[in-house]
Amino acid sequence: MAEHDDQERSLPATPQRIEKARADGRTARSRELATCLVLLAGSLVLAASGPRIALELKRLMARSLEFGRDTAFSDTALVERLGTYSVEGLMLAAPMFGAMALAGFAGTLGVGGWIFSSKAFEADFGRMDPARGLANMFSINSIAELLKALAKAALVAAVSLLVFDLSQAELIVAARAPVEHAAAGVSSTVIAGFLALSSSLVVIAAIDVPFVLWRHARELRMSRQDLREESRESEGDPQIKMRVRSMQREMARKRMMAEVSRADVVVTNPTHYAVALAYREGMNAPRVLAKGSERIAARIRELAAENGVPLLEAPGLARALYRHAALGAAIPPGLYDAVAQVLAWVFQLRRSRQGEAPEPVAPVHIVVPAELTVLEDRA
């Protein structure tokens, strides 16, 4: 069943699924990287400031052992001295502990980044299921963790033996030397061995980081059904979306039709297209208030007739305006001359209706530039 499920979940995770997993507290983490950085930081600080720390601890211990008769017979002096020197000792080790804490923080966030999820605090009683626990014991993750532990143990053992073999002569000399010289020699050997051990863990971390990234991506893989469900959840039901888009188109159409009464002229095909134009003082160019084809064009013509807006049959210009002029925008510069002829006729028609001039002749043979010419069609 698991193999069949893995075969079905063969698609990479989408950004939405990755974000949901992070919200649930699921992200890639490499404990080996954090361990490696912590030990490496501690060993580097120890190698850099170890001699100074050892000297300061020696002086601190010498001062702590110096006390007079009053201190020896005091009920509180010894406790106070213990507290004071303990704090001083911790302050000496603070740089190393601070470096290790920062390294651990960086190692934890280095893979997966920072996340906070309250779901990590919720009780998961499924973890108490014996069958689930038994299945986890023989899972790929458990086998991988076992192999990493064995590899780490083998690597540490090999490096330890190598360091001991290389330092064997120095240890023999230190055993015969005075205490101070022996302590210095042994401490340098210990620091070198600590550096070698922490550096060797870089190999484990370099293997573990790509592995945890691959495992996390594998756990988040999706099937085609998962993609469909995610799309449905994020974008909504297709039927509802179609209904919403239909309502939006209807509302936009109603707003457009309401603009027809404000038009100066409606240029028609005469039956297939209709474009309502308006020009007001202050406009850079005439604008398209409404346009449509077939049924919508017929409705535009009806509204124009009801509101006394002049209709002009100019098939070539109507097709060019419908194809190249955007709704609510100014007409293309290439159509300025052609529309200027139409507007001149409109203004003369207004004067005629007011009795100030004879009725003008509607313009014919309006020339449309070749690059804007649209062949006769009903598309």
pLDDT tens digits for range 279-303: 988 888 999 999 999 999 999 999 9
**pLDDT tens profile 175-185:** 666 655 555 66
Q: What's the burial of 49, exposed, middle or buried (CB within 10 Å: 0-12/13-18/19+)?
A: middle
Distance of alpha carbon 112 from the chain centroid: 12
Cβ contact 321:272 at 8 Å: no
pLDDT at 227: 79
Average pLDDT over residues 9-22: 79
Cβ contact 193:39 at 8 Å: no
Q: How far separated are the first and last CA of the chain, in Å rounded? A: 54
pLDDT at 13: 80
pLDDT at 183: 58
Cβ contact 136:43 at 8 Å: no
pLDDT at 1: 43
Structure tokens at 305: 């007739």
Looking at the chain, the whole-number percentage of residues with pLDDT higher than 90 is 21
**pLDDT tens profile 20-72:** 777 777 788 888 888 888 888 888 887 777 777 777 777 777 777 777 666 66
Compute the distance between CA of residue 85 and CA of residue 101 in angstroms, rounded to an integer: 23
**pLDDT tens profile 210-237:** 888 888 888 888 888 887 777 776 666 6
Classify 337 as helix, strand or coil. Answer: helix
What count of Cα atoms within 13 Å lies in the side-chain half-sphere of residue 147?
Answer: 10
Q: What is the pTM of this model?
A: 0.49
Q: What's the burial of 243, exposed, middle or buried (CB within 10 Å: 0-12/13-18/19+)?
A: exposed
Compute the distance between CA of residue 259 and CA of residue 273 in angstroms, rounded to an integer: 17
Q: What is the CA radius of gyration of the chain?
A: 42
Beta-strand runs (E) in the chain: 265-268, 273-278, 287-293, 311-313
Compute the distance between CA of residue 292 and CA of residue 255 in angstroms, rounded to an integer: 13
SS (H, E, C) 67-86: CCHHHHCCCCHHHHHHHHHH
pLDDT at 8: 74
Query: Pairing relation of β-strands 265-268 and 311-313?
Result: parallel
Structure tokens at 134: 């038994």
What residue type is assigned to position 259 of the chain? E
Cβ contact 32:148 at 8 Å: yes
DSSP string, 247-300: HHHHHHHHHHHHHGGG-SEEEE-SSSEEEEEE--TT-SS-EEEEEEETHHHHHH
| Confidence category of residue 2, pLDDT binned at 50, 70, 90 | very low
